[in-house]
Structure 1
Amino acid sequence: MSTHHEAAREHRDTEALLAVLDAADRMPSATRLRARSYELLCPVPGSTVVDVGCGAGRAVAELAERGVHAVGVDTSPSMLAAARKRWPEGEFHEAGAENLPFADGSVRGYRADKVFHLLPEPERAVAEARRVLCPGGRIVLVGQDWDAIMIDSDDPVLTRTIVHARADLLATPRAGRQYRGLLLAGGFDEVTVEAHTSVFTEPAMLSLLARLAEPACAGGAVDRDQADAWLAEQRRRAEAGRFLVAIPFFVASAAA
């Protein structure tokens, strides 16, 4: 495949992912969860706060509105391009959670939202957060438990198979429930953990279910007919106003 075609496909994939993320971010429960994460950061006006895995930069913009110097980092050039386009006044860098572009003790706040489940060694990211945070700085981790996603369905066994198969394709699908242990092992103090469950009933979230079913099908956990039948049932539920997905999120905070 030519480089042009690869670039076009990457652009389409990014746009599709952004559409899913934007739909989720606009949900009242998601807005409340972000606000809670900012509150737990205890932002100090003028201080530097890094948002790791910033994606399209929404949190960077919202943190800047709270008077801090917010910096977004992400490993995806396409996501960073979208962030810079959407928030041209923001500061964004290409970097991974294990290698942040900050000096020791130079950051007052560290936030990572839906990031650690992608990391094969999340303890390395915690150590890097500890390095860049100043004494007394705050860390806040937010993330869903991929193994515990709840979906109303006529076929709970198939639903469970799809959810668990998708989770098993991730590096650390149960990172959320591990936040407390990771922070304690990383030398953080005042560690607290909250659990919030976001409930989605809007048809816009059907695209999320496709992102569960398609990888499960590609990985061989279910066949094409099973995946198609499951998605068709979910579409019928959405059309009838009977659609429901509930996702547990863990929110952990601590002091350096």
Structure 2
Amino acid sequence: MTKQQPPKLPVGPVDTLAPLLARLDAADRLPAARELRNLSYGLLGAARSVVDVGCGAGRAVAELTRRGVAAVGVDVDARMLAAARTRWPDADFRAGDAYDLPLGDRSVDGYRADKVFHELAAPDRALAEARRVLVPGGRAVLAGQDWDAFVIDSDDPALTRTLVHARADLVTAPRAARRHRTLLKDAGFRDVTVEVRTTVLTGPDALPFVTALARTVADTGAVDAERAAGWIAEQRVRAGQDRLFAALPMFLAAGEA
């Protein structure tokens, strides 16, 4: 699920992505994640041709294709595109980014961007590009998490708050998801709707997500490594006792071009 505008990564063997792909696959298999993907497909309405921007390893493109949709996956990361093509050899994957899609004017009737807009410094440019490739009346769907609103139960709520906000500060636009509705309306989309679903993570399955958050923050020096390690240890105990709890609101907005 690598999204638009991260630092360019060197192209290497697909198997160097194995740990990341394993984490993404684990996240995609969560029932809440499947529900959100299906909801985003439904919000595309009757679209029969869709561009999935920031397609990553291509799961959504494959699922849309199985639904009879002519889906095109676009991503900036050449390694992710290689993985997607290996996994789904019959699907259509192309290099490109949210500001410069490899599609003609008015060439698709659906636009989907899942966990993309928090990586964009200029979302208005991305939505102008969305309008360029959409036919009149085409549907755009934006989905993503609010990085500032990650809820994690802990015996140290102050440290947890610091970790969550420090992680959010590493994101280009951590609060972009709460602006999806406004962004679509400002770009001229009509009949804009917004829905919120909360992804709940519990037990051992949630442990990789919360520990990755703490490790990422510790690597920046924003939180002392020893304090982060102690927090991770607490979460491991919670996971072993089935007491780990995390919740993340996911925002889905849709509109008509």
Equivalences for 1:70-219 in 2 at 5 Å?
Answer: 70-219=71-220
The offset of 1:81, in angstroms, is 1.1
Q: 2:38 aligns with which of 31, 35, 39?
A: 35
2:146/2:178 contact within 8 Å kept = yes
Q: Which residue of the partner structure matches residue 15 of structure 1?
A: 18
The offset of 1:13, in angstroms, is 6.1
Calculate the TM-score normalised by the size of structure 2.
Answer: 0.93
1:24/1:205 contact within 8 Å kept = no
Deviations 1:189-217 (A, max 9, x none): 01001010010114133222232112211
Q: Distance in 1 between matches of 2:247 and 2:67?
A: 30
What code does the residue aligned with 1:182 have?
L
2:203/2:240 contact within 8 Å kept = no
What code does the residue aligned with 1:145 have?
D
* Structure 2 residue ranges without an equivalent (≥5): 1-8
The offset of 1:17, in angstroms, is 1.7
1:116/1:175 contact within 8 Å kept = yes
Percent identical pairs in the alignment equals 57
* Structure 1 residue ranges without an equivalent (≥5): 1-5
Worse-superposed segment, 236-245 or 198-207: 198-207
Q: Distance in 2 between matches of 1:63 and 1:192?
A: 21
Deviations 1:107-154 (A, max 9, x none): 110001011111111221111111110000000000000000001111
Shift of the 186–8 alpha-carbon distance from structure 1 to 2, 3 Å rule, reads closer
Q: Which residue of the partner structure matches residue 246 of structure 2?
A: 245
The offset of 1:12, in angstroms, is 6.7
The offset of 1:31, in angstroms, is 0.6
Shift of the 8–170 alpha-carbon distance from structure 1 to 2, 3 Å rule, reads same
2:198/2:248 contact within 8 Å kept = yes
Q: Distance in 1 between matches of 2:17 and 2:214?
A: 19
The offset of 1:220, in angstroms, is 2.3
Structure 2 counterpart SS, 1:29: helix
1:54/1:72 contact within 8 Å kept = yes
Shift of the 225–8 alpha-carbon distance from structure 1 to 2, 3 Å rule, reads farther
Structure 2 counterpart SS, 1:33: helix
Aligned residues: 249
Calculate the TM-score normalised by the size of structure 1.
Answer: 0.93
Q: Distance in 2 between matches of 1:26 and 1:43?
A: 26
Shift of the 193–13 alpha-carbon distance from structure 1 to 2, 3 Å rule, reads farther
Q: Which residue of the partner structure matches residue 227 of structure 2?
A: 226
Q: Distance in 2 between matches of 1:94 and 1:51?
A: 12
